[in-house]
A = this chain, B = another copy of it.
Amino acid sequence: MVGEILKRIRENKPLVHHITNYVTVNECANITLFTGALPVMAHAEEEVEDMVKFASALVLNIGTLDPRQIDAMIKAGKKANELGIPVVLDPVGAGATSLRTESAKKILDEVKITVIKGNSAEIGILAGMGGEIKGVEAVGKHDNILEAAKSLAKRYGTVVVVTGKEDIVTDGEKVAFVLNGHEYMGRIVGTGCMSASVVGAFVGVEKDYMKAAVSAMSFFGIAGEIAASNVQGPSSFKNAFMDAVFNLTPEEADSREKIRWGE
Contact = CB atoms under 8 A, between A and B. Distances in A.
Contact of A136 (B25, B30, B40): B40
A13 B134 contact: yes
Contacts of A232: 240, 243, 247
Which of A13, A29, A93, A235 has the most chain B CB atoms closer than 10 A to its own CB?
A: A235
B33 A187 contact: yes
A29 B22 CA distance: 11
A52 B33 CA distance: 34
A249 interface: no
A179 interface: no
Interface in A221-263: 232-236, 238-244, 246-247
Interface in A1-30: 13, 15, 17, 21-27, 29-30
Contacts of A24: 26, 29
A190 interface: yes
A26 B257 CA distance: 30
A22 B136 CA distance: 18
A61 B51 CA distance: 18
B17 A44 contact: no
Contacts of A236: 239-240, 243
A103 to B, nearest CB: 9
A143 to B, nearest CB: 22
Interface residues of A, number: 61
A96 B42 CA distance: 11
A17 to B, nearest CB: 7
A243 B234 contact: yes
Which of A33, A64, A135, A233 has the most chain B CB atoms closer than 10 A to its own CB?
A: A135
A17 B135 contact: yes
Contacts of A29: 23-24, 189
Contacts of A45: 66
A232 B134 CA distance: 36
A41 B23 contact: yes
A135 B29 CA distance: 12
A182 B243 CA distance: 18
Nearest to A238: B235
19 contacts: A21-B41, A23-B25, A24-B26, A24-B29, A26-B26, A29-B189, A33-B187, A34-B187, A38-B134, A44-B65, A45-B66, A46-B67, A50-B99, A54-B134, A54-B135, A187-B246, A233-B243, A235-B246, A236-B243
